[in-house]
Structures are given as structure tokens and as C-alpha cells.
Chains A and B, each alone.
Chain A
Amino acid sequence: MKNNESAENEGLLVRRIKNGTVIDHIDGGEALNVVKILGITGTTQEALSIATNVPSRNMGKKDIVKLTNRELSKEEVDRIALISPRATINIIRNYKVFEKKGVEIPTLIEGLVRCPNPGCISNTHEPIRSKFEVLPKGLHCIYCDWVITRDITSHII
């Protein structure tokens, strides 16, 4: 009964969607960064619902992002792992969960993060995307060897 109540309360915050993607179990407060990683801005077409700091039994607080009419690709999903490794992805078709998956930290990320080194060739007008190798200690720029060890979100392009 309690669970139903909680689901109903949550339902008031973020309505069910017919088709699209629900990203659940995002670390509390990271939803807006998830949206940024997905490249969703004021000019994109998706209907977007965001719930932040929703009480969660396992996580204490979590965020939820619901995107209508867009199914996220594996590459997009894995980028989320950089800031929220416990996130789960539900692909929704006709109100039902069609597919449920976790996120995996990728080994290489391209075009997502800007190298903080002003002298790096990736910060020029060359026809390349930034490339970072994902290491336990942080993100390693494969061009200039700079390592981003903290606050990855502030470097997202």
C-alpha cells in the first residue's frame, strides 16, 4: 500500500509517458547534467520531465528524467555513466517497459568533454572531436595527456 502511495506521489511529479525513455536512479542533483550530456537544450523538440531529489529507499535521494518519443542509443546511455553510474534506462513503448538496462562506463568518449588544456590541439579549429580515455583516476586526453580528475560535468561541451 505504501509503495502504491509513493508511486502515486511520484506520478504527480512526473507523468507516465507513452513512448520514449525513462532514466531512473540518477544520483540526486545530477538530472540537469544528464540532460546536458544528452544534448537537450531549449531548442530541441522532446517533451522532457525532470524530477530531482525524489526520496529513494536505496539511494536516499535520486533524480528521474523522462523523455518522450526518443529512445536513447547505447552510446548516449553510457555517457551518463560518467556522472551517474547507478542510473537505469527504461525504453517505453505504448506505456510498457520494452527494455531495461544499466549503464556501462565507456572506455573512450568522443566529443563530450572539452580538454581544459588551452594548449591542446583539440581546442583549435582542426576537424577532430575531443577524445578521452576513461581511466580509474579520471579522463585522459589522448591528444595532450591532460587528465581530468574532478568535476567532469563542468567540462562537458
Chain B
Amino acid sequence: MHHIISIGDFDRTGIDKLLDHAEQIDKKKYDGNALAGKILAVLFFEPSTRTRLSFESAIARLGGTSLSVGSVEACSMAKGETLADTIRVVSGYADAIVIRHPKEGAARLAAEFSTVPVINAGDGAGQHPSQTLLDLYTIRQSMPIDGIDIALIGDLRYGRTAHSLASALSLYHARLHTISPKGLELPATLSAQLAEKGMEIIEHDSISDVIREVDVLYVTRIQRERFPDSASYFNVASNYRITPELLAGAKKRLIVLHPLPRVDEIDPRVDESPHARYFEQSKNGVPVRMAMLMQVMK
């Protein structure tokens, strides 16, 4: 049985193969009944819009159906049931499970108790492999991933999308530039792991220091609740905002990515810029997740 729990479970060949498949799907070269009669259980114990809807869209486009529990309050976990029990029960109802959970390692636990394949759709500050795959896919649409210079911006301490992406990019000899507020830097353990894999990591104080040399700006949300008050949040957040003026000095091929939702990190005027790719990135969630479902359910 094949689960997708962490981007670390993939080698480079595995990632490339999955992205090639997503590309074929994107060109409408797929069987719309490939997963006919199959049921996907969508277990989300945390709020989500894009991830959830794109998984539901992906299974529907492949001819399958999905089950979900609605809100967390409406499910048996609210009555104190363990995740292990929930998974045992749900794996009797479906052919695969997609799970999002606030605790790190929840998807790994689910895979231990499930009798059907499990896909991790985000576990706390941990892993979010489908997001990483669609991020890589979006980069690959614009340029070869090998050897790119990428800047990770924002909350790099708690941002799981940035962690997973950085790990995956270590397979592609990318150079990592990090720009984050004090206290929200990339965790030292992760930096050490990446360095061990031969990745060059360069810390910067401001985005303008790197704007001329990077190929990708990966912007993440800085959460208001990480700051003692609104004033200090706005003070910090304004230094990490992407504006058309900032992009004026950028390379022509630079792309701006964001896992969304964005709040203030990207000026809406950037949406019209040829560098903006975040809505395309979000749309890419469907073909990439279709390829993932095919891999585990077919």
C-alpha cells in the first residue's frame, strides 16, 4: 500500500515522474473514469479552502466521489475519539483518505492504522507534500528547477509549506535565500539538515537585497497572532510586502509564488504583473492532486 506522508519520502525521480504525469493531466490527457467507483474520504480537522476543494475536484474529475465530515465540531473526534479509531473506522468506508490535522505526525499515525492509502494534506507545522509538489510544478512551468535561486519570505519558523519546499529543492541544487522577521527564522535543525544535503542557505535582512538575483520569490503569510499587538505586527509585516516598485529591479523570469491565503504580503497591484504566479499555482493544485490520487488509488 502506498501512502504519501512527507516530501522526504520521495526521491528526485519520484517527484519528476509525478510532475510529468500532472503535466499530461493538465493537457487533458487523462481518463475521466480512471477512478470511477472509488471513494476518497476527506478528513480535515483544521480549516482549509484550497487544499480541500482541490482534492475534491481532483477525485471528481477522475470519476470518483468523496466523503467528508463537514466541520470538526460535527465529528466524533469532538466527543474524544482518538484519531487512530477514527482512521480505523473511516478506512472501512473509503478507498483512500486525505487528512489534515493540527498535530505533527498525525498523517504518519493515520498510515499506521489505516487499511487504505493515506495522503497527508498538512499536519500542524509539519509536512504538506501536495503543496510542495504543486509549488515545484508551478516553478517548472516557468523554468527548469535545477540550480534556481529562490527566496523564502515571511514566517519561516512555523510555515510548513516553506519547510517542505526547501527540503524538496535540496534535491535540485537550488540556492536558498531566507528573509524573515526576528524569531520567525528557519528552524536551526532544518537549516542544518539542508546544509548537510549540500544546500547553500543565505540569510538576508531585506527583500531588496536579493530582488535582482533571485528566480523565485516564495512569500508566506506572517500571522498576526505571533505578535504581541497589532502595531508591532503592522510594523514588521510592512517590511515583507511585495510591491510593483520592489519588483521593478527583478530578473525578467522572476516568479512570485504564495501558498495563499494572502493577507497583506502581496500588494494587489502585483496581480497584474507578469511575475505573479500565485493564482496559477493554486489552480495547479488540481492536476497535481489528480496525479497523486492516481498514484495511490489506481
Q: Do A and B bind each other?
A: yes
The yes or no answer to B141 lying at the interface (CB within 8 A) is no
- Residues of A contacting B8 in the complex (Cβ-Cβ under 8 angstroms): 145
Interface window among B16-24, B105-113, B230-238, B256-264: B105-113
- Report the bound CA distance from A144 to B125 in whole Å: 9
A143 with B105: CB separation less than 8 A? yes
CB atoms of B6 and A145 under 8 A apart:
yes
The interface residues of chain A, by DSSP majority, are classed as loop
Query: Which of the residues B83, B103, B112, B189 comes within 8 Å of A119, measured between beta carbons?
Result: B103
Confirm or deny: B13 has a beta carbon within 8 angstroms of a beta carbon on chain A: no
Q: How far is the CA of A120 from the CA of B105 in the complex (A)?
A: 6
- Which residues of chain A come closer than 8 Å to B106, judged between CB atoms? 121
The minimal Cβ–Cβ distance linking B128 to chain A, given in whole angstroms, is 13
- B104 at the A interface (CB under 8 A): yes
The answer to the question of A141 belonging to the interface, with a C-beta cut-off of 8 Å to chain B, is yes
Interface size band for B: 20 to 34
- B126 near A145 (CB under 8 angstroms)? yes
Asked whether, in the complex, the Cβ of B125 is within 8 Å of the Cβ of A119, the reply is yes
What is the CB-to-nearest-CB distance from B274 to chain A, in angstroms, rounded to a whole number? 37
Q: Is B82 an interface residue (CB 8 A)?
A: yes
Q: List 25 A-B contacts (CB under 8 A).
A: A119-B103, A119-B124, A119-B125, A120-B103, A120-B104, A121-B83, A121-B104, A121-B108, A124-B103, A126-B82, A126-B84, A127-B84, A128-B84, A128-B109, A128-B112, A142-B108, A143-B105, A144-B104, A144-B105, A144-B123, A144-B126, A145-B8, A145-B104, A145-B126, A147-B189
Name B's A-contacting residues (CB within 8 A): 6, 8, 82-84, 101-106, 108-109, 112, 123-127, 189
